Each structure stands twice: as C-alpha cells, then as structure tokens.
Structure 1
Amino acid sequence: MGKSKTKGQREKPKGFDLKSLLLGSPRETTVPGSRFPNGTQSLVPVVDIRQGVLITEDGRYVKVLEILPTNFYLKSRIEQQNILYYLSSYLKIAPPSLQILVTTQRADIDAYCAQMERYYNTETNEACKEMIVEDVQLVDYLAATEIVTRRFYLIFAYTGAASELDDIARELAEQAETAYQYLDYCGLEVLRHDRYDEFLLKTLYTAIHKPYTSQVDFTALLSQIGPVCGASDIPAEELDDEDADGMTTVQDVLAPTECDLTHKGYLLIDGVFHTYLYISGYSYPTEMGPAWLSPLVELGDGISLSFFLDRKRKEQVLPKIAKTTMLNRTRLRDVEDTRADYEELDDAISSGLYIKDKLNREGEDFWYMHTLIEVTALDEETLNRRVQQVQNLCASMNMTVRRADWCHEQGFRSMLPVARLDADLAKKSKRNILTSGAAAAFPFSSYELCDDTGVLLGINLHNNSAVIVDNYDTDQYSNGSFAIFGMSGAGKTFTTLLLALRLRMCGVLVFIIAPEKGFEYRAACEAIGGQYLRIAPGSDDCINLMEIRRTTLDIDSNITDNVQRSDSVLLDKVQDIHTYLRLRYPEMTPEESYQLNIALLECYESFGITKDNASLLKPDGSFKEMPDFTHLYPFLLKYPVLKNVALAVKELIDFGMGGQTNVDLTSSFIVFDTSGNKQQDISSSTFIATSFIRDETSRSRTRKKAVFGDELWLIAGNEGNEQAADFVIELAKTIRGYGGIFVSATQNTMDYFALRDGKFGDAILNNSRFKLLLQMEEPEARKLQEKLGLSEEEVMQIVRCGRGQGLLCAGKSRICVEIRASQLEYDLITTNRADLEKREAKESAI
C-alpha cells in the first residue's frame, strides 16, 4: 500500500556509501507520525491545507499568491523606473522572508484540442474538417517541441504571534491584500482564486509531479483527504488511533509513486530526472541592470527558478558592517598597493561605506538573496544539455552556477512553494543586497497571452509561449476586434487570411471585404468550402442590392416574451440604396434625392411590398420576389429630374451589376473581391458587400461572426466617400453588440488616417482591442506610436521585426509574436512568388 523509495538494483555495503560518509546517514523518519516513515511522503513537507493556507511539517503557515507578469522590456524607461520604485516600496513593508517561484513546463493544450474536437464533430464541410486536423497537429507539434508556459508565485510564511488558525489565516489574507495593492501599481495582477485550497493543492501537485497532466481532477483529489471510514465531517483530532491510521493525508495524495535518491548528480522521481543548481553568493556582479533575473526566468522548458529574499534588521546589521569596515581599514594600512588583495580590501571598504550610507540616509533595507535553479528532463542526455544551457547563460552574465551534488533532495524540497530554503544551500548561495537591488531583479517580466480556447496566432518571441486568443471572451476583453498594420511583404495578408481560416474552423461566420488584390483570398476560400465573389463590371457574380433579406429590424425578435417592434425594413433598405447610388453619382441634389425615394417606393409597391413588414412574405412564409435595378430603371425614367440617376443605374445594368442575385450567400465563409473596379467605383462596389454583411450580422446576437476589411482606406481615403466611410465606421462600432468582431488590415498607415484628419482610422483603432503591428518603416511606426502611445523600445521592435513577426497589443499588454501556420495553411495562403512557382511546377508534373 505504501509508496517506497528505490535504493538501487543492488544494495551497497554501508561502509562504501560515499554520500553517507560525507553527509551522514539519512534519517529514518522524515515525517513525524507518518504511517510510512521511509515512504515518498517524506518528500512532501506540507501536512495540511486549510483556509487558503499551507501548513508545513515544521509548524509554519504559508501563503501562496499567483501573479500574472508584465512585459517589462517593452516598457518605456520611465515606466520601468516606476515599476521598480513601487516594487521597492512593497519590499519595505513585505514579510521579512519571501520566495519568488517561477515554474516552466510544456504548454497545456488539452483545452484547445478538446475545443477543436467539438468543432470537428459538428462540422459538415469535409475540407474544413481536414484543416481542423492539420491545425490540431500543428499545435500538438509546437507543444511537444517549442511552446512552454510559466507560472509565477509569491510565497511568504506567517511570522506573527497568533496561535489560532482563524487568526493566522486572517492576518495572512491582510498581508496578501497589501501585496495585491502594491503589485497592481507595478502593472502586475495577483489572481484571486475562488477555490483557494484547490489552487494550493494543484500548485503543490504540479511542483512535485513532472510532467504535469491536466487530466487530474483536483476537486476529487482534495475530497479524498480525510477519514476513509466513518463520517467525513468528524475532525481528525477526534479519531481514535485505529481510525486515524486510515486517514488519507495531503502527503499521501501529493507524494510521488517512486523516487531514487542514490545518485550524485540528480534525483529520479517518477521517471523524471531532477537536478538542482545554485548561483554562488560571491559570484554576483557588483552592478546589474533592471530585470536582471529575467534571462534566467526565460531559459526554456524544464528549467524553473526559485529566488529567496531574507530581510535583516538594521540594528542587527549596521554594527557588523561598521566593525568589518574598521577591520578592513586596519588591514589595508599594512598592505602594499602592489599586492593582489589590495583592490579586494579597498572594494570591501567602499562597499561597507556604501551600504552604511544607503541604510542610514536613503531608507534602504539589508537583505540576503539566494537563487536556486531546478532542471528537469525525461532522459539524462537532455538533462545535461539543459544544465549546460544554464551554465552558459550564467557565465555570459558573469555569474558562477554550481550543481548541488549530493544535495539534490534538499534542493527538491527547497524548490517547493513553502518559503523554506535548506540551510546548507542557503549558506552557499547567500549574497547581500539592498532593497533597490532586490527590486531590480524583477523576475515577473515574462508576459503570456494564452487563453484556454480560441485561435492560435503563433509563438511569443520573448518566452516561447503559445499565443492563443479567444476574441469572444467578453470576461477578458471589452471587444475582440483586431487592427493589423504592416508594410508590403511583412505578412499582413497572410496573417489576415490565417486568422479568418482559423475562426471559420471554430464555427465563426466569416466575411472578407478585399478592395485590393482580392484574388489572393480565392484559393483558401474555395479550399475551405467558402464562396468567392467578384463584385466588378463584367463579373458573372451578382448580388441584388435591392433584395430584402430580413423581416424585421428587431434583432431580439427571436427572444421569448419579447414584444417585436414594427420598424419598417423597406425604409431601411431604401436608405441603403440611396447611399449606394450617391456613391455612383456624388453630385445628387436634394431634389433628386427626394424624388429617388418616391421612385424606389413605387418600384417596391409594384411587387406588393410596402412599409408594412408583413408585406415582405408570401402566405407560405417565404420571401416575395424582389425587384432589382432593371425594374427600378423604368420608374426613374418617369421623372425627368432623375435623368442623371437613371444614367447611373443604366450603367450598372449594362455592366451586369444590376440583376438578381445569382450566387450562394448562405456559406459560412464569403470573400467579396472588389479589386476589379476602377478607383472611383471601389467605394460603391464595397458598399454592396458591407450592406449585405450588416444585414447578415444583425440577424442574431448569439452566433459568432467576424468581418474582415483589407485595405478599407480605399473607401475612406482621398478616392473614397465620407458616407461609405461612415457606414464602415458604424459597422465596426456596433458589430460587438451583434456578437461579432471587426478585423481591419492595411499596409499604408498614412492613407488609413487620411479622411477627416484621421476620423476613419481613429474610429477603427479605438474599437479594436487587439492591434497587431507587423514589420514597417520607421515613419509609419512613429505614426502608430503617436496613436497608441508606444515606447521607443516598442517602435524599434516593430522596425526590426522579420517577416511574419510583429508586436501584438492587447490593451496595456504588449508581446512580440511570430505567426505560425500548418503546411496546408501555408500552401493555401502564401503569396510568395517562389512558393507559387514551386506549387505550379508540382501541379504541372501531376
């Protein structure tokens, strides 16, 4: 029944146990009162979890806070200084001993894969199902080879005088609230878990069991703790000895199945190799830059870090510093300046005087810091390679890192989130530091944007975490709209179409408006079973703008017990036609405008359609036949004042754009290619698409929708029309209320902000929670710096980006992302000439 430690295949003579000779024999019982004195439970120093507090075997009470980091390196210099200032302020009032734990492991993609499995099972289009499989395979490959996730914890123990658990838990909660406040000033969010005991159990479990599996039910695991016989509500202290022996303890559920502690260079726990390293106390450089600990945090998979801080009282430290400085001065008088230790003594004196001055005059506190590094792997070769990676990085930072040979069990215990560092490791890794220096370590600088569900964008270039965004999660994001900017060749169209395809895989209704190079969208659209429409003179595709596709303007008409409004759908459609014809004939006078309304109403009335919405339907509930521009033309000729309007309509009819709808508009993925029009006609052709999309998106608020607008500055710029621009702006502003998102993309930032001193661009930007800034020239990056408040570091990051890389802004959070696609997606989307040439040659060979 017990879990046991493995001591090797062959029992060694005790006299030849080198570890025992050097360090002494291991104690037989590591857990007082344990039912299995020599079991793996001895590796778990926590005996209970109550009221959000860990209770350790040595009688301490520990609080664990989980922290969401920030992207420190992309902050401006002033922002960085403010962050470090507020962190220093917190350290002055924080508990005297702190542990900052950063764990790294392979990303958990189970939730993402489960989501895609649901979409696969409900998808009816075989082409889309094939792409879903490709997408899951890509994510699975990235999770196995590249993407990692990190968790950040702040841990401290209770140091007060209370003896009752209720009082201790309350005081620790108050200290946690103080941490919430000050860390918020630093731009850090402390997560407030609803089921705190379950969170603590999960934190401990993932620290002990590597690799962690998300299939563990921690609610069920927590419920197992307690008596296995009798009523579960009986307190443990009231059980007799026989019943107490049947208790399932925290140590039982957390303990590993097996462990091998006999090796010099590592531990072997449940088949996973663990080794521990520490930075030698004497090897830290005298001066370090801000966030100097971050490179160690971002080393990669299987490398975690624990940073300990221990504050000492000034009255305890100052006399020792004064005495040591005085002795060093005395020794210096007897040392010639040519001796090797002269500079060492001189530096020690200067350091002592510096510390005294900072403690006495500038309000600094004296701390000891310790840095412990955990490296894990599934095989010894990978373990050694990762250890070498740590050693190389530390050497490049002028620090010496050493393996804790024969002390890895102590290292394992010290890495657990219990704010307790082994005394021997503490002695070897101890280095004094002041409050400002401790704050400058700032390990919370590895921001991740990885929602459980949503669409995969790519890889976070800062820390190799996955970038998965759920645009429709209203709890996290005020809106899910995207604004994409990038120079020609930066990957703007590729990114836009990749996002559209992945949204379609997730069951989202996707519309794409392409006023420029719309042909680039055709292959992917048809491959996923979508509808590609070319709206231009001479095209075989035609959409009847005069066709009414709704029976009500009331979007909530399908909600039970909701009184349906009777606003006229016909008058709304007349207004759309009016706007469209004004785009074709901008010189329309007020008289022509008024008479046009009359002609339109007469045309619809000839088909039995009036302002009454009921007149739209036949007795069987289907729509009546709708007029088109060929039917409107005779009504226009009746009024001489509409002569010029009639000419504009006649031109539409002659070019094949005035007839009945002859394409399937029920597809879940529709591309409107308006790039075949002349510059002066692009606005009107694009308006046909936006008018149809507005009708479709306003049918329901429950279905997810996405509208993509590529190069919509062609509507809003010098060649465009303000009315059409207003229509697009209104769509971008209101689409969130219809359960949708708006994705705009452009490679010409200057033209994007051309209309009305930037009204169009500002409106789109302000209604986009996400901004993806791909590679661009510095002048355009400066324009966005002005609009988005980017720092100099962020501007330079945008300019230096490679193809398919960019700065993703999600509110105040900014990360550098590299867009990733599967091979199938890449082949469908790429516009690279060389790739297209290879594909053409391959198809020709077949």
Structure 2
Amino acid sequence: MNLKNILFGNGDKNAENGTERLVPVKEIYGGVIALKNGKFVTVLEVLPLNFYLKSELEQKNIISGFAAFLKTAPDELQIIVETRPADISAFCERLESYYNAEKNANCRRMIFEDAQLLNFIAETEGLSRRFYIVLPYTGQSSEIAEVAAEISETTLTARQYLEACGLETVRHSDEDEFLINLLRNYFRPFSAATENSNTDLSEALTPDSADCTGSGYICIEGEYRSYLYISGGGYPTTARLAWGAPFVEAGDGINISFVLKKESRDKILPKIGNTAMFNRSRLKDVGDTRQDFEQLDDAVESGLYMKSQINREGEDFYYLSTVITVTADTPESLKKRERDILNLCGANGFSVRKAYYMQDKAFLSSLPLLQTDTDIFNKSKRNILTSSAAALFPFSSFEMCDEKGIFYGLNLHNSSPVIIDHYDTSRYSNGNMAVFGMSGAGKTFFLLLLAMRLRMQGVRVYIIAPEKGFEYRNACEAIGGRFVSIGAGSSDCINLMEIRRTTLDIDSEMQGNRDNGSVLLDKIQSIHIFFDLLYPAITPDEKYLLDRAILNCYKSFGITRDNRSLTDKSGRLKKMPCFADLILFMEKFTELKAVTMALKRLVEGSASGLGGQTNIDLKVPFIALDTSRLSKEFTALGTFIATEFVRDRISVSRVNKKAVILDEAWKIAGENGNEQAADFVINLIKTVRGYGAIFVSATQNVVDYFALNDGKFGDALLGNSRLKLLLQLEETEAVKLQEKLMLTESETAEVIRAGRGEGLLCAGRNRIAVEIRSSDTEFDLITTDRESLAKRVKTE
C-alpha cells in the first residue's frame, strides 16, 4: 500500500495527547512541511563526497563552491547529519530471490552465507550516513499548495549551486513519502511501520510513548536520547577545511544539527563596531599582566577583522548553533556514547555541554524542521563569517552502496557496506573495471570473489587466465562451472575456426535479422590476427594467399560469405573446419611454406591442443579458460583464442547480463606488442557494454601494462574502465598509476600502505578505501594462501 495513503487516511484528527505536543508538524504536501506555528520548510537530501582524498586545490574549490551556495541560500538554514546502522534489507531480499532460483547447492550455501555476513556487518560494523539541508519558505503565502509552487525555485537554485561544488542532490520519486519517512525516524523509531490505513499524519508521527521528565535524557518509544551542544565560545579559533567532518565520523547513534542564521549587514556592522570600541576602552583600563588582557585584545582584533572582511571581502555574518543527538538502547550505553562524543570533541578543540533540564527543547532543535529553541540557540550560538561557515562542510563521508549490485566489502573510511552495480548505466557510463595489485595483495582472490558473486546473481561469467589459471579451478567446478585448460598435455580444445552464430545482428532474437554483414568475413579477420601472433614476420603477399586458403577451406565445407550457408536444411550449424583442414589448403601455395610449418606445430606438434575441433561444453554459465600451461611463445596465441571465443559468446545477444574477466590482459598482445591483437582487446572492451556485458581487466605488472605500443594498450583499457580497484602496490608502480589516474598524494599513500585485501576503489572522481570481505565458504573455495590450504588439508 502507498505510504502516503497509510499516513493520510480519512480518520479525524485526534485531540492533543501527552505525546502529540512533541510533534510540531501540521501537514506535508508537494515536498513541503507545514508546521503548527505557521511556517513552512523543505528538505534536500545531499550525497556526500570523499573530501579528504581530494587534492588541496580540489578541496579549496569545493569550499569556494559551498560558499557560493551560502551566498544564494535563504538567510536561515539547517544541515542535518544522521548516522544509523546500514539498511541492507532490500539487498538481502534480492539475495533471497537468487537463493530460491538457484539450483547449485554450493551457490545456494554461499548466497545464504553472504546474506548472513551482510546482516552481521549491518548489526556490528556497517553504518550509513545521510545528509540533509533544510530550507525555509520566505514568501508571504499561507496556502501550502502555493508555497510548494514558490519554494521549488529556491530548491532548484540550491541544487544547482550544490552540484556546482561537487555535491549531488537526490531527486526522490515521491518527495512527500521521503519527508514522512525522514520524520518517522525521529518520532517513531520502532513502531512507525505498524500504522493502519485510517491513520492520519498526526497520529502516524505521534510516539506511542515518550518520557521527557529526566534532566539528562528523554526516552521515545524505548529509544534513549540525550542532547548536547557546542557552547558559543567552545569552537577552535581557526577553521580548517571541512572542520565539521569529525562529527560525521563520530559513530553509530550520533546525529548532528548545524543551524546557520545570516544577519543583515546594516544591523550587524554597527554592533561589531560598538563592541570593538567598548573592548578597546576596557583594554586601556586593564594592565597587560592581567589574565584577561589577552582575551580582550583578541576580541578587539576579531572585531576589526570581521568588520574588514564584511566591508572589503563581501563576507556575510552568521550565527552558528550546533546540537548533538546521542541515541542508545539503554541509559548505560547512552552514557558511554556521551563520553565517547565528549572525548572526540575535546580532541578536536570543541567544548561541549549537556542540555540539562532542556532535553525536550533540544529535541525540538534537533528535528529537521529548522525550529531551534531560543534558549538552546542563545547558549550555543557562535558568530562566524561566510568563509568559516563554508569551511564547516560536513558532507565528507562518501558511500558506494548501490541499491542493486555486488557486495565488495567495507568502506574503511566510515564502515558502510560497499555494493556496486556494474550494470547501472545511470550511475556508471560503463561497468568495466581495471584491477591492479602486486603479488600477494589479493588480486586473484578479488577476481574470483567478484566472478562467483556475479554468477550467483544470474550473470554469465567468462574468465581468461594466462597466469596461474589452476587457482580458478576449485571455485569454478564447485559452482557447476566448466574449467578449460588450454595447453600441453590437456585434452581440452577450442576451435578458433568454428563459427558459432548465424548473424552479426545482436538484436536478431527480438527484432529479426537487420544486419546482413558476413559472419564468415568477421571470423576471417580474427583468424588473420591469430596468424599475426603465430608468425609475426608474415608479409602482405603471404596474407593474401592465406586469405585465399581460408576461403577455399570454408568453401569445401559448404560455407560462403552468405550467412544462409552456415546452417543445414534443419537449421543447425554445419560442421566447421579446423586448422588441420586449413593446412591442406595452405600447402597448395608453396609461398606459404614457412607459415604452414608454424601452424603445423599447433596441429601435429607439442601445442596440438590449439589446433583441433572444439570438444567441450561451452554453454554453461561459468567458464574459466586457463592458458597458463602454454609455453611462453604460445601464451598470446592461447589467450587470443580464449578471448575470441568469449567475444563470440557474449555478442550473440544482449538480453542476458554477462561478465568477461581477463587477468594480465596485456599478455594477449605478446611480448613485442602485436598491434592487431591489442586492437582486438581494445575494441572488445569498448563494445562489451552494447552486448549487456562488463569487462574486468587485471594485472600485477603495471609497467608492462603501459609498456605496449607506447602505453596505448594500457591507456585504452584504463580509459574505458569507469571503475578501478587499486590493491596494494609497490611504490614505483603506485607512482605510475598516480600519473595516469591523477591520484592525490594521500590516495597514493593509501595504495602503498594497504594491507592484503584492501585497496582504493575509484568510480570517476569518487574514491574510497575498501576492505574486501568474503564468507567462510567463499574463502575456502578461493584462497591461494599456503597456510590456509595446509589447514584445510589437515581438516579434511
């Protein structure tokens, strides 16, 4: 049932009761809250950014942009910071649907364990922070519908200025329901979801119980709350950039309300001048040895400075009030959290006092309604100029927690869960990812964890591993995947010459075949790239003759440039030639003798696994292709065959989600950097999004990654990967990436200092430090750590 219908039923409003006096809300309409005192406010939700990982110049630009917002904002506004346990209920519901649809027992167990892991994190570690700006209505109308129309201009201007300084504002599908949910957290923290269809707004927000008789705390529906404030003289004398950030990281159960009230220049300048003159006259009567001499001298200097900044620099004068809400389940835990916040504030130079015998007034002041109690405001107000008000900037706790997606682990900056939806095109221009990490940093662990979690969500996964491919076998087979070993001594084979589709039109399933391009000619392009890798010295004349041999070979199987020739009368694909068949046609051209001899090694020699017919089932939803058993000279060949096969599979249709994971992608181009092979991979990573797929590349050799073709290969992979994960790196390699990604010094230091399974996750301009988390079953299937493997062998 619609939430608004639940709250705005047809029942008559009840008379005031003991707890209803706590609720100053009269009506909600059109994104506007009407208060019982006749005022109106609206609330914007703001998404934060990771301020401290920005460069010094970026930080200054952000603060400057926020100052511009304050200049255009109403004279009075409120900034709310809420910290609460992470809400992962929607994500867990999705996991439940995957669990019910899954047939593989190991997958079901891991989905169940992932849900348990997330619930545990949410209860013990995972925190979510929400940021709001409350703006008042400053017009003359008293009709809420008219107010809603007029205040929309204020909110539009605010959104534009906030977004100009890098802050994204949330546009809710139903602003009224957003406001109702926001207020319910304050008035009905536990029982709000039990309302019936006849409940009106007042009853919906009125707590079932509230005890405001205590001197040091109140209790609303079993939740204990105490209120503190920063005293007017309790702020540090200098305001560093984002000085409000420490409050944001205070931990669970701590909410902050900052209220800024701008004073008229005509009103405040005479006051500042008179106060400065009074203090100067007092200073003459005070000896310079007295204790209060310095205080008076500072007051005079401050007054003159403020007057100068207002007159010459165009700054505005504000009063700032800061109220801190501490919440807990018991009075004992409430006291502990109070001590923690007092220690935190003291360590950062703030003097905090408790609102004894004013807890109900402080409660009113803490609400996102811009209704600061006069007594609380007078005790907590501090004068401040625009520059210091802008430097407050508390929006500095960036989270990456998409509504749908893959659980990565924990945000090390604020303990929020990291959930990334690679397929959300509204958030990411592409879902591709580039992963970097030195040996032992956890690169393979992450790739397999990502692959398994994608598979558990119904994504078709293809892994290509040119190095230590055996590390993928255990997990692959445990979840019903197919592990394919391409190399000496293996019976597995993929036929590069096999054509697996009948059209180049990716939408043929939905709209019929509209692309008449020749599938055969497309395949022949891939075969030519293969020969460039096999025999780099091939000449243009030899390429021409090779082209004729390939066409003649396919023709002998009844296959021509006409796509209709690919199938027999029953509609099934015809038998395809392989390299053994091609050799017969190449031998007819004596000029191809050297090229033919090179190919014969793949058919008759030590690398015969690369030249035969496909003999494995390649239609399973999880395939790991291991090319690490090939000798060094054949690694690029085997990796190309695997990649070309994957390209074939993902380009059949874009209806289903797919993922391609290519470890040490640079190896496909060979040691000398084959241009055609490199272009093949670059083209693939550029086009996978159109196939409904993502491409994940990974390397532990950053230098080699950018060495090929003067860095063209690495730059292309990096430039087409919206997401980057930088696990622990050696300093030289971290510095190389600092150049490429324009990392700040602090971000580079994060990468160098990272522990195993930790790294810097980059999504465009947003960067967070992340710790990769897995369930026990996932860890056992993935780990390559020798000690962990030895323990498992002992247990078994």
**What TM bracket, shorter-length normalisation?**
over 0.9
The residue that corresponds to 1:578 in the other structure is: 528
Aligned to 2:668: 715
Aligned to 2:691: 738
What does residue 305 of structure 2 align with? 354
Moved more, 585-594 or 768-777: 585-594
Deviations for 1:228-261, whole angstroms, at most 9, x for unmatched residues?
Answer: 6xxxxxxxxxxxxxxxxxxx53211122222222
Q: Secondary structure at the match of 1:282?
A: coil
**Worse-matched range after superposition: 677-686 or 618-627:** 618-627
Tell me, what secondary structure is at the counterpart of 1:273? strand
Structure 1 CA distance for aligned equivalents of residues 473 and 548 of structure 2? 40
1:111-150 map, 5 Å: 111-150=90-129
The alignment partner of 2:613 has SS state of: coil
- 1:699-730 alpha-carbon deviations (Å, 9 max, x no partner): 10111011011111222363442221111111
The normalised TM-score by structure 1 is: 0.89
Aligned-partner residue type, residue 534 of structure 2: R
Cα distance, 1:735 vs structure 2: 0.5
The separation in 2 between residues aligned to 1:132 and 1:443, in whole angstroms, is 36
Match of 2:517 in 1: 567
Note the 1:391-540 alignment, pairs <5 A: 391-540=342-491
3-state DSSP of counterpart to 2:581: helix
In structure 2, relative to structure 1, the CA distance for the partners of 1:410 and 1:686 (3 Å cut) is same
Mapping for residues 318-357 of structure 1, pairs under 5 Å: 318-357=269-308
1:54-73 aligned at under 5 Å gives the runs 54-73=33-52
Q: What's the counterpart of residue 266 of structure 2?
A: 315
| Structure-2 residue corresponding to 1:632 | 582
Please say which of residues 541-550 and 632-641 is displaced more in the overlay: 632-641
Q: 1:175 maps to which residue?
A: 154
- Aligned length, in residue pairs: 782
Partners of 2:283 and 2:299 lie apart in 1 by 10
User: Does the 8 A contact of 1:555 with 1:699 survive in 2?
Assistant: yes
Residue 630 (structure 1) shift:
2.5
Q: Which stretches in structure 2 are left out of the alignment for 5+ residues? A: 1-11
Mapped to 2, the partners of 1:581 and 1:41 lie a distance apart of 81
**Which residue type is aligned with residue 733 of structure 1?**
K
**Residue 775 of structure 1: aligned partner:** 728
- CA–CA distance in 2 between the matches of 1:212 and 1:106? 17
SS in 2 for 1:256: coil
Confirm or deny: 8 A CA contact 2:505 2:513 kept in the other structure. Answer: no
What do the CA deviations read for 1:210-239 (whole angstroms, capped 9, x no partner)?
3598xx59xx98xx5xxx6xxxxxxxxxxx
Contact 2:673 2:709 (8 Å CA) reproduced: no
Separation in 1 of the partners of 2:314 and 2:528?
A: 72
| Residue identity matched to 2:19 | T
Please name the residue that 1:788 is paired with: 741
CA distance in 1, matches of 2:239, 2:311: 23
1: distance between equivalents of 2:382 and 2:524? 78
Q: Would you say the 8 A contact 1:449–1:468 is kept in 2?
A: yes
Q: TM-score, normalised by structure 2?
A: 0.94
Q: Matches of 1:553 and 1:329 in 2, distance apart?
A: 85
Percent identity of paired positions between Structure 1 and Structure 2: 55
- Is 1:800 the equivalent of 2:758? no
| Deviation of the 1:342 alpha carbon | 1.9
Q: What letter is aligned with 2:358?
A: C
Gaps (5+ residues) in structure 1?
1-32, 229-247
The 3-state SS of whatever aligns with 2:503 is: coil
Give the SS at the match of 1:627.
coil
- Residue aligned with 1:762, SS: helix
Could you tell me which residue of structure 1 aligns to residue 21 of structure 2?
42
Q: Distance in 2 between matches of 1:212 and 1:591?
A: 81
Match of 1:231 in 2: none
CA distance in 2, matches of 1:820, 1:827: 13
Q: 1:576, CA displacement in angstroms?
A: 2.1
Structure 1 residues 507 and 343: alpha-carbon distance in aligned structure 2, compared to 1, 3 A threshold: same
Q: 1:834-845 residue pairs with structure 2 within 5 A? A: 834-843=787-796
Tell me if 1:706 matches 2:659: yes
Match of 1:650 among 600, 615, 618: 600
Matched letter for residue 327 of structure 2: T
Instruction: Tell me, in whole angstroms, the C-alpha distance in 2 between the residues paired with 1:124 and 1:251.
Output: 49
Kept in 2: contact 1:552–1:568 (CA 8 A):
yes
The SS at the match of 1:319 is helix
Residue identity matched to 1:392: N
Secondary structure (helix, strand or coil) at the match of 1:472 reads coil
Relative to structure 1, the CA distance from residue 38 to residue 492 in structure 2 (aligned partners, 3 Å threshold; closer, same or farther) is same
Contact kept, 8 Å, 1:683 with 1:721, in 2: the verdict is: no
In the TM superposition, what is the alpha-carbon distance from 1:164 to its structure 2 partner? 4.2
Say whether 1:196 aligns with 2:175.
Answer: yes
Write the letter of the residue equivalent to 1:357: S
Name the CA shift for 1:360/1:578 in 2 (closer, same or farther; >3 Å): closer
Q: What is the alpha-carbon distance in structure 1 between the residues aligned to residue 782 and residue 299 of structure 2?
A: 63
Q: Which moved more, 1:286-295 or 1:351-360?
A: 351-360
Separation in structure 2 between the aligned mates of residue 75 and residue 438 of structure 1, nearest angstrom: 20
Structure 2 equivalent of residue 94 of structure 1: 73
Distance 1:578 1:187 in 2: 48
Q: Deviations over 1:175-223 (max 9, x none)?
A: 212211211221011222232222221221223333598xx59xx98xx
Q: CA deviation at 1:754?
A: 1.2
After the TM superposition, which segments of 4 or more aligned residues of structure 1 sit over 6 Å from their partners?
A: none
Q: Secondary structure at the match of 1:648?
A: helix
Stretch moving more, 185-194 or 690-699: 185-194
In the alignment, the residues of structure 2 paired with residue 642 and residue 824 of structure 1 have an alpha-carbon distance, to the nearest angstrom, of 54
**2:4 is matched with which residue?**
none
Mapping of residues 155-304 of structure 1, within 5 Å: 155-210=134-189, 216=193, 248-304=199-255
Deviations 1:544-585 (Å, cap 9, x if unpaired)? Answer: 22222112222111123x344443322322332232233212
Q: Could you say what secondary structure the match of 1:89 adopts?
A: helix
Partners of 1:479 and 1:768 within 8 A in 2:
yes
Q: What is the aligned partner in structure 2 of residue 675 from structure 1?
A: 628
Tell me the distance in 1 between the aligned counterparts of 2:278 and 2:781. 75
Contact persistence 2:13–2:203 (CA under 8 A): no
Question: Residue 90 of structure 1: CA displacement?
Answer: 2.2
CA–CA distance in 1 between the matches of 2:339 and 2:112? 37
1:459–1:820 CA contact under 8 A, matched in 2: yes
Distance 1:717 1:386, change over 3 A: farther
| Secondary structure of 1:641 counterpart | helix
CA RMSD of aligned residues (A): 2.0
What is the alpha-carbon distance in structure 2 between the residues aligned to residue 494 and residue 173 of structure 1?
A: 49
Return the alpha-carbon distance in structure 2 between the equivalents of residues 36 and 161 of structure 1. Answer: 29
Q: 2:546 aligns with which of 579, 596, 606?
A: 596
Structure 1 CA distance, aligned partners of 2:187 and 2:764? 35
User: What are the Cα deviations for residues 720-762 of structure 1, in whole angstroms up to 9, with x where unaligned?
Assistant: 4222111111110111100000001111111111122111111
Q: CA deviation at 1:138?
A: 1.1
In structure 1, C-alpha distance between the alignment counterparts of 2:458 and 2:186, rounded to whole Å: 37
* Whole-angstrom distance in 2 between the partners of 1:812 and 1:271: 42
Q: Cα deviation per residue 1:312-343 (whole Å; 9 max; x = unaligned)?
A: 12222222222222222222222222222222
Query: Aligned equivalents of 1:407 and 1:667: distance in 2?
Result: 66
**Residue 803 (structure 1) shift:** 2.1
- What is the distance in 2 between the residues matched to 1:119 and 1:105? 27
Change (3 A) 1:467 1:256: same
**8 A contact 2:413–2:769 mirrored in 1:** yes
3-state secondary structure, aligned to 2:487: coil
Q: Is the 8 A contact 1:717 1:751 kept in 2?
A: no
1:127 deviates by 1.9
CA distance in 2, matches of 1:158, 1:207: 22
